[in-house]
Amino acid sequence: MIIDVMEIQKIIPHRYPFLLLDRVTDINKGESLVGYKNVTIGDNVFQGHFPGHPIYPGVMILEGMAQAGGILAFKSMDNMTEEEAANKVVYFMSIDKAKFRSPVRPGDKLEYRINVIKQKGAIWMLLGKAYVDDKLVSEAELKAMIVDK
């Protein structure tokens, strides 16, 4: 199942310049998601991180993982109608064991691979990994909750 950026914007509330997921290429409800962000020199963050030596910030990689995890959680809730989903939002409760293994630069395709560790009711525990050219660049455990807006 491919989810393009227009559909992503129907699921999560983020918008430019803070929408950090361009496409979902694979989703297994309640299990896993694969999506990506194309990192370009046109991203606003490179104006200050770092001039003359652009590195995509680790916190933005984590936020991209979180957004992908939110889509996985929403798409996994089979009993939720589109109208109900419009009145919900995903809040992240914690990010643990975050590691940054290699810098991400303009021109990279940042691929997010999200797996469900555990889910109970509205609470989701996820393992997020980010890759560039199949090389692990970052990983973290994410805990989130779906709540009313």
pLDDT for res 48: 95
How many structural domains is the chain composed of? Answer: 1
> Would you place residue 135 in the very low, low, confident or very high pLDDT band (cuts 50, 70, 90)?
very high
Name the pairing type of β-strands 123-132 and 135-148: antiparallel
pLDDT for res 80: 78
Residues serving a catalytic function are 49
pTM as predicted = 0.95
pLDDT for res 83: 80
> Would you place residue 34 in the very low, low, confident or very high pLDDT band (cuts 50, 70, 90)?
very high
Cα separations in angstroms, 38 against 2, 5, 62, 92, 111: 16, 12, 15, 23, 9
Q: Span 30-44, mean pLDDT?
A: 97
pLDDT for res 86: 81
CATH label of the domain that carries residue 63: 3.10.129.10
Q: What are phi and psi of 100, to 5 degrees?
A: -120, 120
What is the C-alpha to C-alpha distance for residues 6 and 103, in angstroms, rounded to an integer? 29
Q: Is the pLDDT at 81 greater than 80, yes or no?
A: no
Domain hosting 136: range is 5-148
